[in-house]
Every structure is written in C-alpha cells, then in structure tokens.
C-alpha cells in the first residue's frame, strides 16, 4: 500500500493538532493510517526486527479494537529503514515520512541498562505525545517478563501518545492511606494481590516476609511492594498493568480509582482514562464498528541521500532592509555548513517568474559548496510568484530524482494572493516544504505549505541584531540523517556597535562537539576587526572575507579544542552578528542537543502559547541547565523568557530535561519567532533516579495460581549514582507561531494565574497539616498572584465538583510569592475529624483582576494517630506459667496478649 496520505486531511490534521506532534497519522473509518515506525541509525541491521514490528502491530490491533469498544484499529504502517542498511527492491523511497516525524522510534539509545518502553509526552492531559520509544531487545521479547507482551504494551503506549492519558501506577509512591488503612496504588481498586517485603541483591530479588506498617506514617515501610495475582477477574485497567491476563479495558468513570495518587488523577483532574479518550477528536469522529477490522498493512521505506532545493525570493521588495544580502548570508551558512556532506542541492530564484540557478549538485567537497554560493542572486527586482518558484524546483528535481521525500527551502518576504493555486501541486509532490517568512509582509498563507508537508516554519524580522534569518537556516538539518551528521549551533549573537565599540564574549566547545566548527561573522557596512582565540590562548588566523556579501568565516581544522573560545569584534555605526556551529566530535558519542517545541502554531488570544525545550545527550536528559527563550513579535519587540524544569506551571515533570514556560506577552497579531539559548547543567546519564516516565509498569513479580510468588530482577533505574557537571552552550531556532485575536493596546488583563499542579500535603502530629507547592503568577506563571483560596473536604469528588462550597481554610496571613517560588503553609484541623479520616485539599490562586486559576491537583492527608510504644520498664509482668498451668485463664491471657501485640505492629491499631 502506498505511503502518501490524503493531503487535504493532513492539512486539517495539522491545523487541529498544533505542533507538539508532527505526526502524519490520520483516522480513516476507525482505522489509523500513516503511522511511521522508524528504526534509528544506531540499530544493527537485522531483518528479523522488521518482522517483529509487524507482529507487534498486527497483534496489538485487535486488542486495541476491543479495548476501545470496537472504535479504533491499526490500518497501515510505514516502517522506515536506515540508509546504512542494505538496500532491497521492496524498500521504497519515503515521501513525507522522516526519522524526525516518526511516531515510534526503535533505538538502542536508552538510559543505562533500561529497555523500558515509554512515550515522550510533555503536554497537558488530552494533548498528544511526541513519540513512542522502543528498543530492539524489547521487540525481540527479551523483556517480556519485566514489561509484558509487546502487543499489549504497544496499546498502553498508544494511549499515552494518541490521547494524552497518563499512568495509573506510581513508582515513587506505591501506597497511600484510605480511611486510615494502606492501599496499593492501582486502578481499578479491585485488582487483587499481596503486600510483601522485597529484598534485592545483585541482579535478583526475593520475598522476605510480610510488610510492616510504619507507626508514624501508617504506611508500609520501605521495600514493601504490591505483587498482583497473575490471573484476575477485573478487566481494567490497561494504564495500570496491561499484562494482567484479564485486563482488556481502560478504567471508566465507574471503576476508576480516584483516590490513588497517580499521574492520571493528578494531571487529568481525577478523570478516568476512558473519560479523557471520549473527549478526544478521534472519539468524536467515530462510532463503533459492527464488523471485525482487517489486519494492518505495512510499507517498507528506506531513507536515501538528502535532496534539497533552495527556492529564494529575489523580488523588488527584497531590496528593503538589506534583505537580499541577509538572505545570501544565511544561505551561505546553509551551503557551507548546515547541509550534510553527500547531499544533492539545487537552487531556484523567483520574482514574477522563476529561474533555475543550479540543477541538483552533489556536495562532495568545498569546491562544490563554493560553486553554489556563487549562484546566489545579487539583484532584486520584479513581483512575487511563489508558485512559479515551487514549480521550477519540482521540475529541476525530477530531472534526477522523484520529488518524493525531497525538501524545498522556500524564503519569501512578499505577499502573493495566488499561493493557494499551487497547494495541490505541493500535496501531490510528496516533497517537504520548509518556509522562511522574512519581514512583516510575507504571504499569510505561507505556513500552510509547511504544515501540510511536515516542514519547519520559521520567521525572521528585519531586526538584524537578532540574527533570525541565519538561525532559521542553521536549523535546517536533515530529518533523516544521524545526529552525528547534524550541524549544531553553539552561538548566535548580534549587536549594534558605535564609535569603534567591541563585541566581546566566549563560546564553549564541549567534548561532544568540535568537528567542522565554523565561526561566521556578518556586518552591514564596513569590514570589522575580528579576533578569535582558542582555549590555549592562540589567536586564530585564516578568516575568509567576502566584502560583497559582507560576511567572514573561519573553519577550524580537525576537531576544535575543548573549552572557551574567546572573540573580540570591533566596528563602528553598524550591526554585527556572530554564529558558531559545529558537529559531533565522534559518531559514537551523542552530542548535547536542544530541541525546541511549541504547543500550537496558531495562538488565539487570550490562550497562551507553551514553549518547550528538550535538552538531551542521546537518551539522557540534561538537568539544571540555564535555558532562555527569546520571542520576537512582528513589531520587533523581543521578550526574554526563562524556561524551567521544575514540574510546575507549564512544566509537566520535574527534572526530566524538558524546560517549559507559558508565553502571554502578546503585543500584536502576526508571526512570532522563537530562539532558545541553553548553558551548562548536569547530565542524568549517571544519575539513575530519574522521574517516572509515561511508560509501562516494571513488573516486580507475580503470584501464580498455586500461590507461589515469582520475583523479577530489580528495576535497572534503582540505585543512585553521582551525576556529572557538563559545560556547554547551545542556540537553536524554535521556529515560529502566529498570534490572532490580539486586541489593540492597551491589552486587557485576561490571563489568570496558572493551575497549581504540584500541591503536596503531610500531617504532623494529630491535626497539623503542612502544604507545599510552587507559586503560580499573576498571568499564568509570570508575576505574582494576589491571594490563595484553600478548601478541604472529606470527599475527593465533592471537593473537585463543589470547590466553591467546600470548607475554606483561613489564609489571611498567606501572602503569595513570586512565580516559581516554593510556597509553604500550615493549618490545624479541628477535632471534628476523627482518626482514620481522609482529608482532601485543593488550592486556587487569584490575581489582581480577580481572575482565578483552575483548581489545583488534589492533595490528601489521612488522620492516623500512631500507637504509643510502651516504655521498656512499664511492660506488664505476669506470673511465669507452664503450658500445663493450673491457674485458670493465665495461659489463654498470654496468648491473647501476644496476638494483640502482633496485630498492633502489623495493623497499626486501625
């Protein structure tokens, strides 16, 4: 079956989904089409792996179909095979499918010794995830004991990925108190099993007696785990443990365990998985099927050499604001550095008509690159016909290759009301269109070309010092190349200099990069004085100057030295920019990368845009980095936004290497560009105590039908190893988004404080409740809220549904702190709450305009009055008697006393 999906539907799909996911999936008559499962370059060639992928999806389809009430199944899947595997006649050329937009990635790169299937999901409840991660060993069935069958696991991950639901277990908090009694975190609550003490040594675990209750907390002590019975009657839930034989459904409103402290309850406002699925666009588009679905079909696609054509605007408006020359400066960076060696590159320019400046040329040397650079346009004139440029590019590409999977880099600054006339041409081409909108008047329909083809959309203003155009071209690495081949931007800086002023600074070349390091300097009038020193203090020579294009560059030979490279550039009365790029120093050591993401490509005021930046070295997150987003509006106003990995506000999970923040500082309708700066941090590669990811439960063990408990080896992430400091710098273009419905100034305050999502509660003594949370802001996670409302209830559902009428806590002395600060508050419960009572707590923030946040996640405490240990010298004494004692009742009394003491320890005097 062909891999090209319905382009019209794809356009609608992109407009609906935003850009958290660049997926090509569409839902057609209950069947999911266009699923892309990509095998990464690091996976050794193994044809059996392809069959295992097919088997997993084929077996998962009927399980998904029944679990969703006969609504959904897997219809067709494209398996993307790496370029470094042997070619075969049945391996076809991809169209829009790339490694970058794959829905499932099969890779050996995962945290140390961990084959846990998981889903990248950085958004809110109900928002689709980015990608499912699987390893070859998992697909080979080598981890079935720990994670369960591949097909059932895939359905668990599909629910994360497609419907934005969360796990119903909790690795960090396995038990909770309910009515004073400890309960295992599970869904549904009728899943049966035993609480046992687990002892692990080396690579094996055993059970070691019954769990003992902590007298202070009322919970089971450490090393206690819940081991489920292998055979059950309960049908739910797949998001708890899909490996239980009887589990074939998602939890519904009727059987969902709302009290369990798990991610699904915390992130989805106590809603069950099925309730969230029912609210999805997928569910709204379908009705249950009456017949069984067909088996999935598969297409095998193999990535090939990169084919890219620059389509550059040379119309008369490109004379304004030095745009033509700036385009040539940015194009030079792309041709010198960004595009990978061995790629085929062509060039088309257009005004009212199109001109082929260069047919496809393979870049095998510096001379090949220089030849293309010489073809860049030098004169701007005429009108703007974008469709002419695209048509000429497709025609040029077809002389050597099909347009399937080819890339177009389209730059324009002009309006063109005929652009929609070539939408069908683009849809049918199978090519990927990256768009660069330059200046405030670029065609409003431009982004639709990139949306419908999965391309990158970027915007650059005429504020030269922001270096937006160079950043846009620097971001255009191949979506299929191995990460070691990607050009990585280390620095991007610009400044307006007067009277022989200097631009001084340094850029870090860390140990993960250094190959093909390039320093590129641009200016607007006269050649500046440029000085660069390596980490040893040796001044660098060999700059290549082009006074016509007003650009100079230095290519560092070999592998650049690790450390701080200093620069000083002097000029007068002009604007300078500096860009530094490099590649991975080794094909075996993953470089540190920054991947920016926004949750929508069109933001409608007053809905905020969420900006994310994922920082990784391979599969390992980089923690405690300094991450900043620079967001520039069409008016040229730039807002600096510190992104945080604190698990509050816009950030979903603390310390997962994803840094997030809400953007609310809209000042105009139109395009906004995003640039990410990241500095330093620590790598979690050596720190295994990572936060729980959206993945399947690691199975501690099973209780067989005969009652025997079979334990699995310890989870690979157990243990704590020192994390290591890393020193790096990165800059990355985050693309662009479009704001609509922004009112004229003064812009009214319509942004409430953001929802508090990390409220935690504990109890001290018998009735003193301690609360902690991260402060929201006046406008989402910016500024300072004006006040807090805290309410409590003995019913978690009543508190959620009737927050405004629940019992309010006195917060007169609680003054909100600045957003992202840690808040602490304590209050006393009155004596009306008896021992064993569960108390649920929620909080709402209020801003100066009396706008209220959503109700927070619901925290809980259980009033557990610990039993008092009798002093050693006050132990009651009884006459010593033998078992045949003639003193009536004494022997029975001792037995009863001993039994009560054991119950006292085991049950904590409930």
> Which pLDDT belongs to residue 682?
84
CA 48 – CA 140 distance, rounded (Å) = 9
Could you tell me if 268 and 415 lie in one domain?
A: no
Could you tell me if 244 and 328 lie in one domain?
A: no
pLDDT tens column, 535-592: 999 999 999 999 999 999 999 999 999 999 999 999 999 999 999 999 999 999 999 9
pLDDT tens column, 159-195: 999 999 999 999 989 999 998 899 999 999 999 999 9
> With contact defined as beta carbons under 8 Å apart, do 432 and 407 qualify?
yes
Of 609, 682, 667, give the one whose Cα is nearest residue 634.
667
Locate tokens 């010298």: which residue?
A: 873
Could you tell me if 84 and 129 lie in one domain?
A: yes
Q: Compute how many other C-beta atoms are within 10 angstroms of the C-beta atom of residue 644.
A: 19
Residue 707 in domain? no
- Joined together, the tokens standing for residue 753 give 């404080």
> With contact defined as beta carbons under 8 Å apart, do 306 and 340 qualify?
yes
> With contact defined as beta carbons under 8 Å apart, do 855 and 845 qualify?
no
Could you tell me if 296 and 374 lie in one domain?
A: no
CA 122 – CA 660 distance, rounded (Å) = 9
Average pLDDT, whole number, for the chain? 90
CA 577 – CA 557 distance, rounded (Å) = 22
pLDDT of 16 > 60? The answer is no
CA 690 – CA 621 distance, rounded (Å) = 9
CA 775 – CA 824 distance, rounded (Å) = 10
Residue 28 in domain? yes
Per-residue pLDDT band at 884 (split at 50, 70, 90): very low
Lowest pLDDT segment from 5-14, 488-497, 716-725, 844-853:
5-14
Our count of domains for the chain comes to 5
Mapped onto helix, strand or coil, the DSSP state of residue 78 is: strand
Burial of residue 845 (CB within 10 Å: 0-12, 13-18, 19+) is: buried
Could you tell me if 531 and 617 lie in one domain?
A: no
Locate tokens 């009657």: which residue?
A: 233
Could you tell me if 422 and 497 lie in one domain?
A: no
> With contact defined as beta carbons under 8 Å apart, do 554 and 532 qualify?
yes
- With 0.75 as the threshold, say if the pTM is over it: yes
Residue 437 in domain? yes
Burial of residue 561 (CB within 10 Å: 0-12, 13-18, 19+) is: middle
Could you tell me if 580 and 656 lie in one domain?
A: no
Could you tell me if 584 and 601 lie in one domain?
A: no
> With contact defined as beta carbons under 8 Å apart, do 590 and 601 qualify?
no
pLDDT tens column, 532-548: 999 999 999 999 999 99
Residue 661 in domain? yes
Could you tell me if 731 and 668 lie in one domain?
A: yes
Which of 565, 588, 611 lies at the terminal end of a domain, its last residue? 588
Residue 677 in domain? yes
**Residues with active-site annotation:** 157
> With contact defined as beta carbons under 8 Å apart, do 619 and 671 qualify?
no
- Average pLDDT of span 777-792: 98
Residue 849 in domain? yes
CATH number (domain holding residue 532): 2.60.120.380
CATH number (domain holding residue 324): 3.40.50.410
- Joined together, the tokens standing for residue 220 give 């089971």
> Which pLDDT belongs to residue 451?
92
Range of the domain at 389: 305-463
Could you tell me if 499 and 607 lie in one domain?
A: no
CATH number (domain holding residue 63): 3.40.390
Could you tell me if 282 and 311 lie in one domain?
A: no
Helix axes 7-17, 446-453, angle to 10 degrees: 100
Residue 432 in domain? yes
Residue 55 in domain? yes
- Joined together, the tokens standing for residue 271 give 């809603």
pLDDT tens column, 252-303: 999 999 999 999 999 999 999 999 999 999 999 999 999 999 999 999 999 9
- Joined together, the tokens standing for residue 258 give 């709302």
Could you tell me if 37 and 89 lie in one domain?
A: yes
> With contact defined as beta carbons under 8 Å apart, do 106 and 134 qualify?
yes
> Which pLDDT belongs to residue 872?
39
Which of 532, 566, 588 lies at the terminal end of a domain, its last residue? 588
């Amino acid at each position: 079956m062909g891999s090209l999906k319905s382009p019209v539907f794809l356009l609608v799909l992109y407009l609906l989904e935003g850009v958290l996911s660049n997926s090509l999936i569409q839902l057609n008559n209950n069947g999911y089409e266009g699923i892309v499962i990509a095998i990464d370059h690091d996976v050794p060639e193994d044809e059996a792996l392809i069959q295992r992928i097919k088997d997993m999806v084929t077996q998962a389809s009927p399980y998904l179909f029944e679990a969703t009430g006969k609504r959904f199944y897997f219809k067709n899947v494209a398996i993307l095979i790496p370029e470094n595997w042997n070619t075969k006649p049945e391996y076809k050329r991809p169209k829009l499918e790339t490694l970058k937009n794959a829905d499932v990635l099969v890779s050996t790169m995962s945290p140390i010794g961990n084959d846990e299937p998981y889903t990248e999901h950085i958004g809110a409840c109900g928002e689709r995830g980015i990608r499912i991660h699987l390893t070859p060993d998992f697909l080979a069935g080598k981890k079935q004991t720990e994670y369960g069958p591949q097909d059932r696991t895939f359905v668990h991950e599909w629910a994360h990925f497609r419907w934005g639901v969360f796990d119903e277990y909790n690795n960090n908090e396995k038990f909770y108190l309910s009515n004073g009694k400890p309960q295992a975190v599970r869904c549904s609550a009728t899943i049966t099993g035993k609480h046992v003490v687990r002892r692990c040594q080396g690579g094996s675990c055993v059970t070691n007696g019954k769990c003992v209750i902590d007298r202070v907390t009322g919970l089971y002590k450490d090393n206690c785990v819940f081991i489920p019975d292998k055979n059950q009657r309960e049908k739910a839930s797949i998001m708890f443990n899909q490996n239980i034989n009887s589990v074939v459904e998602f939890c519904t409103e009727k059987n969902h365990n709302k009290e369990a402290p798990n991610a699904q309850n915390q992130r989805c406002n106590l809603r069950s998985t099925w309730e969230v699925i029912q609210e999805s666009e997928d569910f709204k588009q379908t009705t249950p099927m009456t017949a069984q679905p067909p088996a999935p079909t598969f297409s095998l696609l193999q990535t090939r050499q990169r084919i890219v054509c620059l389509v550059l605007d040379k119309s008369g408006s490109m004379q304004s604001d030095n745009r033509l020359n700036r385009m040539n400066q940015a194009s030079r960076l792309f041709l010198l550095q960004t595009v990978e060696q061995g790629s085929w590159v062509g060039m088309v320019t257009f005004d009212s008509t199109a001109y082929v400046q260069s047919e496809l040329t393979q870049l095998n040397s510096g001379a090949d690159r220089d030849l293309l650079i010489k073809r860049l346009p030098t004169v701007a004139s005429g009108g703007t016909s974008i469709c002419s440029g695209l048509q000429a590019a497709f025609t040029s590409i077809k002389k050597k290759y099909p347009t399937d999977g080819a890339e177009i880099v389209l730059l324009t600054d002009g309006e063109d009301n005929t652009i929609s006339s070539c939408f069908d041409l683009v849809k049918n081409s199978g090519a990927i269109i990256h768009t660069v909108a330059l200046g405030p008047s670029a065609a409003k329909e431009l982004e639709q070309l990139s949306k419908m083809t999965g391309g990158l959309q970027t915007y650059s203003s005429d504020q030269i010092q922001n270096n937006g155009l160079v950043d846009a071209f620097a971001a255009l690495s191949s979506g299929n190349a191995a990460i070691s081949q990607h050009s990585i931007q280390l620095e991007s800086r610009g400044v307006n200099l007067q009277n022989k002023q200097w631009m001084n600074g340094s850029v870090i070349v860390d140990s993960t990069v250094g190959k093909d390091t390039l320093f590129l300097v641009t200016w607007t009038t006269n050649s500046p004085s440029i000085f660069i020193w390596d980490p040893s203090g040796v001044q660098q020579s060999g700059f290549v100057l082009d006074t016509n294009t007003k650009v100079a560059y230095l290519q560092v030979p070999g592998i650049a030295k690790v450390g701080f490279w200093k620069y000083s550039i002097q000029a007068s009365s002009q604007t300078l920019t500096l860009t530094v790029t490099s590649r991975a120093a080794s094909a075996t050591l993953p470089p540190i990368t920054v991947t920016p993401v926004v949750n929508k490509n069109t933001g409608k005021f007053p809905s905020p845009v969420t900006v994310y930046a994922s920082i990784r070295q391979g599969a390992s997150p980089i923690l405690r980095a300094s991450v900043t987003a620079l967001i520039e509006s069409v008016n040229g106003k730039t807002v600096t936004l510190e992104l945080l990995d604190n698990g509050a506000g816009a950030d979903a999970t603390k310390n997962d290497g994803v840094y997030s923040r809400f953007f609310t500082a809209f000042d105009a309708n139109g395009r906004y560009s995003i640039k990410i700066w990241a500095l330093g941090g620590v790598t979690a590669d050596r720190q295994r105590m990572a936060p729980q990811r959206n993945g399947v439960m690691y199975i501690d063990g099973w209780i067989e039908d005969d009652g025997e408990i079979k334990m699995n080896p310890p989870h690979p992430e157990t243990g704590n190893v020192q994390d290591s400091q890393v020193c790096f710098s990165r800059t990355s273009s985050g693309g662009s988004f479009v704001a609509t419905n922004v009112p004229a100034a003064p812009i009214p305050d319509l942004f409430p404080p953001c929802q508090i999502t990390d409220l935690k509660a504990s109890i001290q003594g018998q009735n003193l409740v301690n609360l902690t949370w991260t402060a929201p802001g006046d406008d989402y996670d910016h500024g300072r809220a004006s006040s807090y409302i805290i309410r409590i209830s003995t019913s978690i559902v009543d508190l959620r549904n009737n927050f405004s009428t629940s019992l309010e806590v006195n917060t007169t002395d609680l003054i909100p702190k600045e957003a992202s600060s840690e808040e602490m508050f304590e209050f006393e419960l009155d004596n009306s709450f008896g021992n064993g009572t569960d108390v649920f707590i929620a909080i709402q923030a209020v801003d100066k305009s009396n706008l209220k946040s959503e109700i927070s996640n619901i925290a809980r405490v259980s009033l557990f009055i610990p039993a008092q240990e009798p002093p050693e010298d006050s132990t009651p004494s009884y006459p010593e008697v033998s078992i045949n004692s003639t003193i009536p009742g004494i022997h029975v009394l001792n037995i009863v006393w001993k039994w009560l003491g054991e119950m006292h320890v085991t049950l904590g005097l409930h």
